[in-house]
Amino acid sequence: MDLTQPLDEAAVAAIEGGMDRYAVLVFPGQDITDAQQLAFTEGFGALETTVAGNVSKASEARLDVRLADVSNLDQHGKPLARDDRRRMFNLGNQLWHSDSSFRATPAKYSILSGRRVSTGGGNTEFADMRAAYDALDGAARAEIEELVCEHSLMVSRGVLGFTDLTVEERAMFAPVRQRLVRTHPVTGRRSLYLSSHAGSIVGWPVPEARAFLRDLTEHATAPRFVHAHVWAPFDLVMWDNRQTMHRVRRFDAAQVRDMRRTTVAGDGPTWQAQAA
């Protein structure tokens, strides 16, 4: 497919069908502009913005507010210094997560365009949360069925020791609730809704919740559930955050890596929705 061109309804439906089935799709050779990427993304629903999702100042932004800057670059196109606050914050992307699970309405699809890709490291790995759920035994499924977790960027960044946040940032990153088990609205498949942003389970002591979430994450990210994407220039990778987790692997910080993400917002909060 050529995603730089407007897609007709049949093409959008075909991609949605592929997403429902596979949860991750790769479109090689898409030399796409920001405007074209935004137009492609809008075909799948309302766009999420990057507001309140990072520690970058608006005045330092390299991209439109509807594009998440997943590069290692400053506003002048230069790689960020090793100890730059924005870089240290972005290192959280190396932990398994689901995009925007720290938002009350979390992300549906993420669409990531590799404009300049790393040549050493920098793979993006995907873990299938449906397969991880299916592999649980009946007792484990029963135990997690109704659990609700609290997610915050302070949790994932805290794991890496990045706790230097302003009062405003702490308020912005206040925890939100998400169900631990999600049901896909089309296929009816269950999946584990895990993310490194999850730091507690409602009604549980925090240490017990964190130990349990760590254990579930270890299960869910076993090699048999994981696919590693090795980037080529102009790959466009699309994934369903409701059904997968992902992480980026370590890469050379001195090399220019220009990755741009557009995001389709979810339908609404997850934690009140009764699993079907």
**Alpha-carbon gap, residue 178 to 202, rounded angstroms:** 10
Window contacting Fe ion (CB under 5 A); options: 17-25, 46-54, 99-107, 168-176: 99-107
144 or 259: whose CB is closer to Fe ion?
Answer: 259
**Alpha-carbon gap, residue 142 to 120, rounded angstroms:** 43
Q: Is 20 helix (H, G, I), strand (E, B) or coil?
A: helix
Smallest distance from the beta carbon of 93 to Fe ion, in angstroms? 5
99, 128, 235, 258: which one binds Fe ion (CB under 5 A): 99
**Alpha-carbon gap, residue 220 to 97, rounded angstroms:** 12
144 or 236: whose CB is closer to Fe ion?
Answer: 236
Smallest distance from the beta carbon of 70 to Fe ion, in angstroms? 7
* Site membership for Fe ion, residue 240 (CB under 5 A): no
Nearest to 104 by CA among 265, 276, 275: 265
179 or 246: whose CB is closer to Fe ion?
Answer: 246
99 or 150: whose CB is closer to Fe ion?
Answer: 99
Window contacting Fe ion (CB under 5 A); options: 93-101, 142-150, 156-164, 203-211: 93-101
Smallest distance from the beta carbon of 203 to Fe ion, in angstroms? 28
Note whether 133 and 188 are within 8 A (CB): no
The footprint of Fe ion on this chain (CB under 5 A) covers a number of residues equal to 1
Q: Determine the Cα angle at 104 with ends 100 and 110, to 5°.
A: 25
Residue with tokens 């240490």: 207
Residue 79 tokens, joined? 């790689």
Query: Contact residues for Fe ion (CB under 5 A)?
Result: 99
